[in-house]
Every structure is written in C-alpha cells, then in structure tokens.
Structure 1
Amino acid sequence: MERLKKMGLKRAFFVLSSGCVVISLCLLLLLFVCCEKVQDNYPSGGIEFRADGTNVLLQQPTKEQQRILRMIDGFQLFACILLPAGGIGAAGLLFYRIKLKAPISVLKMGTERILNRDLDFSIPDISEDELGQICRGFEIMRAELLQANQELWEQAEDRKRLNAAFSHDLRNPVAVLKGTVKLIQQGKGDQRTFDRLASYTLRIENYVEAMSSIQRMEQLPVRAVECTYSMLETELADTVKFLAPALESTVTVEPRGSTRLDYGIFLNAAENLISNGARFAVKKLSVLLKEKDGRVVLTVMDDGIGFPLQMLREGPKPFGKMNEDAEHFGMGLYSTHVLCLKHGGTLKLENPAGGGAAAAASFRII
C-alpha cells in the first residue's frame, strides 16, 4: 500500500488495473474448473464408440438436468464478461481510494476555506505523486496569500498609525498658527510674530513632505542590479565620513564578490540608519555588512543611550521621535522599515548588552 502511495498516477493505475485483471482471470479460470466438475456429475447423452467396435448409447440427461447444464453454460458466458469488467471496476475503485480520495478531499477543504477567506490552516503532505505536488503547490499558494494578507493588514495599520501621528503632530503647529493669525488680525503682531508664522509654516510644509515621501516609498518599484561589495563598502565609508565626521567610525564588509539588490533602496536605508546612529552616538559608530540566509544584512551600532523600550517592543512608528527636536520628525527608522519590507527584508532594533543601540536592516537578494 505504501509503495502504491509513492508511485506516480500512471504507474499506480497500471499496477492496480493489471493486478485486478489478473485476479479476475484467475477467478474466471477457477470458475470454469468448478463448473466443469459440476457438469461431470450430470449425464451428457450421446453414443460411446468402444475399441471392440461396439456402440453404447449413453444415458440421456433429463429435462431438469438439461436446464441446469444450460444455466451453467450461461453462467460461464456471463462470468467471461462480468469478472474482467469487475476487475477493471475494482481497479478504478482502489485507485480512487488509494490515490485520489485524500488529496481531492484536502484540496476541496482548502478551496472552501479560502473562499470563506480563512487562510489559517495548512495542507498536509499527502503523497509524492502528481496530486501530492499539486497539494504542495496549493500549500505554497495558501502561505503566499496569507503572507500577502498579513502585509496588506500591516500596511493598513501602518497607514492608520501614520495618519493618526500626522494629525497629532500637526495639532500644535496649527494651534500656534491660529493664535499667530489672531494676533495679526488684532494688530498686535511684531517681528517675532511673523518669524513664528514663517517657522511653523515651514514646519507644516516639512510634515507634509515627510508624509509624501512615505507614500512614494510604498509605491516604489524594486529594481535589482548587480552590485559589488567593494562598491557598497566605498559608498558606506563615504556616507559615514559625511554624516559622522567627528565620530570614531568603522566600516566592515565581510563578503566579497557581488550581489543583486536595489542599489537606491539600499543606500537610502543605509543613510537613514547612519544618520540616526550619528545623532545619538557619543564617540563611536560602527557599520557592518554581511550575508545571511539569502539576505544582505546592514547593521549600524552606536554607543548612545539606546532605543526606548516601547520602540523595541512595537518597532519604529511614524513621527516616533526619541526627543523633542523640532527639526527631525522621527521618520528615519520608519522609512527604513518601509524600504526593508519593499525589498523582502526586515528592520530589527536592539540594545546590546554592552550599551548603545544596534539597528539591523536586511534585504533579500534578488
């Protein structure tokens, strides 16, 4: 039985049909032998020619015996049709029960649950034949759909948080602007009033630009190109020198050769992480680039105060600032999070045991 389950559909059907036909033919032969023995118990009639030249008239069967003999002949003829056909039918039934019933049932169940928008299940590994391959493909499709739904849900939640954070952070500048306009309308405006008006107007403009940049990132296509690690090392070193000139910095690139990723997305994320690390570092900043599990992983570490516990638990949030610096909207880490997701990776934040902060952005090699 187990061997049949491991066979392909064509081979399994051939084995089952051949076996059932052979069994039916053996039963047919046995039936003929039995019928012949039964017929031997009845007189057949006719004339027997003996060796001495005499003829003997054999006993004639009665009408009842003739009827029985005719029934036996008819039964044999009927068995010649019924048994081979029954063997083929039995082969089909066994083929269905052994090879088709389980995968069809599983696929039917999976289809119904997907139609009901329920993806929280798994398709078991039924067999190694063609239907087993279809079941495995169905499971891959289900997993991809589940992941896509989760990503869509996360994007929707991120968009809600983004809008809520945007509305919350705009409340104070708008209130200040309303108060400033009221002072101007009352003729109490001075140069400080106009400076405040210009400052908060620029701040709102920067907020809007930050929102637009996030929306552009979500719609950004991923275009993979061949990148050498030496080129990436040079870009990272130049970025560190530009964004953290006063810090003790190191740039380490472990792999050699080349890889395939979106060069622009990678550099954008790298600039965000290095800029964020440079803002909070005290003396040291280190950058490490390596390959792991089919991904390029960029880790930026600093010796600053570390990430807040809430950010470590919930991840970066839009406009999630670590201080009240009005010039920074706290979008760097969130933007990097969006870019990593676009590139099939993740952003992980942690506070190492030795102090400081570490942000690791991974990008799937395409």
Structure 2
Amino acid sequence: MELKRCFFLLSVLCLATALFLTFAIYLLCAKAAERFPSGGISIDFDGMATELAEPDLQQRQILKLLDGIRLFSAVLLPAGGLGIAGILFYHLKLKRPIAVLQMGTERIRSHDLNFSLPEISADELGQICAAFEMMRAELLKTNRELWQQAEERKRLNAAFAHDLRNPVTVLKGSIRLMKSGRADEHTLERMDRYVQRIEQYVEAMSSIQRLEQLRVRPCEMTGSVLREELEETARLLAPGTDIRLSVTDLGTIRIDHGIFLTVAENIIGNAARFAHEKLEIRLTQAGDVLGLIVSDDGPGFPAELVKNGPKPFGKLEESPEHLGMGLYGSSLLCLKHGGELQMKNLPAGGAEVTAFFVLQKTCSEKKIEKS
C-alpha cells in the first residue's frame, strides 16, 4: 500500500474513532446532567408555568464539570486521534525501513559491504530499501573488480620483475667475462640480443593489464640457434654445475622466441637453484609440439605443488630474491603458446619440469599445403 494512502486511512480511522468517543462522552455527560435540577421555568402545553428547583452549590459544580468534559473531549479527542494516527503510521510504515537504511549506511561508512538488506514492503520506502540494496551490491561488485585488478597488476609486476632478472643475470655474466678477458666473439652479439629482448619485453608488458593478455608473436627459428641459446643460458645461470644438453634435429620451426627463452630461463634457473651437481636439458619435437625438459638431482618438488600446480607467489624456499612467480609465469606462457607445463619428481631423486609449446606452421609448410 502506498504511504499516502496508508496515512489517509489511518487518519480517517483514528479521527472517526475519536469523533465516536466524543459523541459517546457527550451523551454520557448529558445523561448524567439530567439527574440534577437545572432551575428556571417550565411551560407545559396548557400554558401553565412551573418554577423548577434550583441546583445547590455542589450540583452546580458537577454540571460545570460535565460541560467542561464535553468541551475538552470535543477538542482533545480529534487532535489525539490524529496524533495516534501519526504514531501508528511511524511504527507500521517508517520505523523499520529507517532502521534498515541507517544500519546499511553505517556499515557502508565502515567499509563493510558483506551484508544484505531485507525486503521490507512494496511501498515507496520499500522501493528505496531495494534500490539501496542494489547500490550495495554494485559497490561490492565494483570493489571486487578493483581488488581483482589490483591483484592482477601485482601479479603482472611480479612476473615482470622476475622475468627481467634472468636476462639481467645473463648481461651481468657477459660483462664479467669481458672484464676478465674471457669473452668470446659472440659475447657482444649475445648482449645485444638480450638488450633487444628486454626492450621488447618492456614494451609488451607496458601495454597489457593482465599477464594472460600477452600476445604470441611466432617467428622462424632453427634448432641450432635454440641449442646455442640453451647452452649459453645454462652456462650463465648454472655455473659450476654438470650440464648435459641434448637437442634433436629440429630443422626450422615457428615459435615465439621471447616466450620460449623466458620459459627456458625460468625453469633452468629454478633447477640450477636446487641442483646438487647435475642438470639435464633436453629439447625434443613430436609432431607440432616442442618439448623442453629440464631435470635436476635436487630435493624435488613438494607433493602439494606437483598435485595442484604452481600458484602465484608460491615460493619453494624463503628468499627475498625470489618472488615465487617463475613456474607460475612459465605455466601461463606455455598455455598462451597452446601447450602446458608439467612437473614431477623423479624416482631416483630430483625434479623434472617439461614445457610444451604448440608450434606454428612455417612458410614452407604453408606453401606445401597450398600446392
């Protein structure tokens, strides 16, 4: 029921009740006054005038009191009826919605949106409460989206910092080789290549909001180039470790060079941190899938990590230098390239990580298909 209609009905009901009580009091007072002499002269139908008895002092006081009661009831009861109508209207229609809105306002002011407003009624205040509940739900949704965006940005920044660490490590190693006079003829070329990688990576990461938005840019690479890069990466990230590298005859393949190297650096660097003496790297191809397998003789992965997969900021050890984004970022990059990242513990001890990449068709393969 609408508020104005409800207030009108309550007012009419209370006012009618007040008027009924006023009329009843008037009749009762009139009936009580008939018991006392009123004084004056009474003239009958024959014209005979009869003098009536005068009331005494006490009776006059009672009659004045009855007149006062009738006068005050005619004024106070209708006014009181309207007042009672207002009180009933407040308790029936206003009190609960106002309390609910006040409660919601206080909780929102204290940054608490984990509540819901009950359905009050179908009147105007009930509609306001429903609109308030919709506003609260939208605020909660917006806050969750902002929190998720902040988490995505945090995850992106962590992955950005982590993936830059390996190229910087390679550059530092190359600089140390140059300072010690042990640099070969490929050192400057390697440094230039890694600087270009960093520039491309910074440009790519600055244009996205989430790590999953990173675009795949495949290019044609030869197996010999990938072998050389894996060998250089392992030598610089795992110095003093017995490294065994095997690469099958790949020929020319089409792959995102940056994604491949980033994943390779992450899993090789992770294996180098835990390897005791040996590190084995294998690069194989089965159909249109390229597999990079890195195994070590370290303590292996925790059972929960093997079962549930890598998580963001999931550290294998407490170290301020490692943010726990290497395996997780590598898993996302493999997924972006159509593959996946698999982890397992070896029966003889140690851990093994396999990164799969779905290869794109090369230009020669496309020409063969068209012909």
Normalised by the length of structure 2, the TM-score is 0.58
Deviations 1:186-205 (A, max 9, x none): 33322321222122212222
Partner of 1:158: 152
Verify: 1:131 aligned to 2:125, yes or no. yes
Cα 1:190–1:217 change in 2 (3 A) is: closer
Cα 1:86–1:332 change in 2 (3 A) is: farther
Deviation at 1:54, TM superposition (A): 2.4
Partner secondary structure for residue 42 of structure 2: strand
- Letter in structure 2 aligned against 1:126: I
Indicate conservation of the 8 Å contact 1:320/1:331, yes or no: no
Q: Please give the root-mean-square deviation of Cα atoms over the aligned residues, in Å.
A: 3.2
Aligned to 1:320, which of 303, 317, 329? 329
Partner secondary structure for residue 214 of structure 1: coil
Aligned to 1:204, which of 198, 203, 206? 198
Counterpart CA distance in 1 for 2:39 and 2:142 is 85
Partner of 1:56: 50
- Letter in structure 1 aligned against 2:183: G
Counterpart CA distance in 2 for 1:45 and 1:141 is 76
Aligned to 1:187, which of 164, 174, 181? 181
Deviations 1:215-248 (A, max 9, x none): 4999xxxxxxxxxxxxxxxxxxxxxxxx9xxxxx
Deviations 1:9-59 (A, max 9, x none): 111111111111111111111111111111111111111112333222111
Partner of 1:105: 99
Verify: 1:213 aligned to 2:207, yes or no. yes
Deviation at 1:72, TM superposition (A): 1.0
Partner secondary structure for residue 321 of structure 1: helix
Partner secondary structure for residue 95 of structure 2: helix
Counterpart CA distance in 2 for 1:332 and 1:65 is 111
Indicate conservation of the 8 Å contact 2:156/2:211, yes or no: no
Cα 1:72–1:117 change in 2 (3 A) is: same
Counterpart CA distance in 1 for 2:108 and 2:211 is 31
Cα 1:14–1:311 change in 2 (3 A) is: farther
Verify: 1:10 aligned to 2:4, yes or no. yes
Residue-pair matches, total: 238
Counterpart CA distance in 2 for 1:312 and 1:127 is 47
Partner of 2:68: 74
Deviations 1:302-338 (A, max 9, x none): xxxxxx9547999xx9972338xxxx686689xxxxx
Residue identity over aligned pairs, in percent, reads 53
Counterpart CA distance in 2 for 1:320 and 1:217 is 8
Indicate conservation of the 8 Å contact 2:155/2:312, yes or no: no
Aligned to 1:91, which of 66, 82, 85? 85
Deviation at 1:114, TM superposition (A): 0.7
Partner secondary structure for residue 208 of structure 2: helix
Unaligned runs of 5+ in 2: 213-217, 219-285, 289-306, 314-324, 339-371
Normalised by the length of structure 1, the TM-score is 0.59
Partner secondary structure for residue 45 of structure 2: coil
Partner of 1:235: none
Unaligned runs of 5+ in 1: 1-6, 219-242, 244-280, 284-307, 334-366
Partner secondary structure for residue 119 of structure 2: coil
Counterpart CA distance in 1 for 2:8 and 2:37 is 45
Of 209-218 and 92-101, the range deviating more from structure 2: 209-218
Cα 1:111–1:129 change in 2 (3 A) is: same
Indicate conservation of the 8 Å contact 2:156/2:209, yes or no: no
Partner of 1:262: none
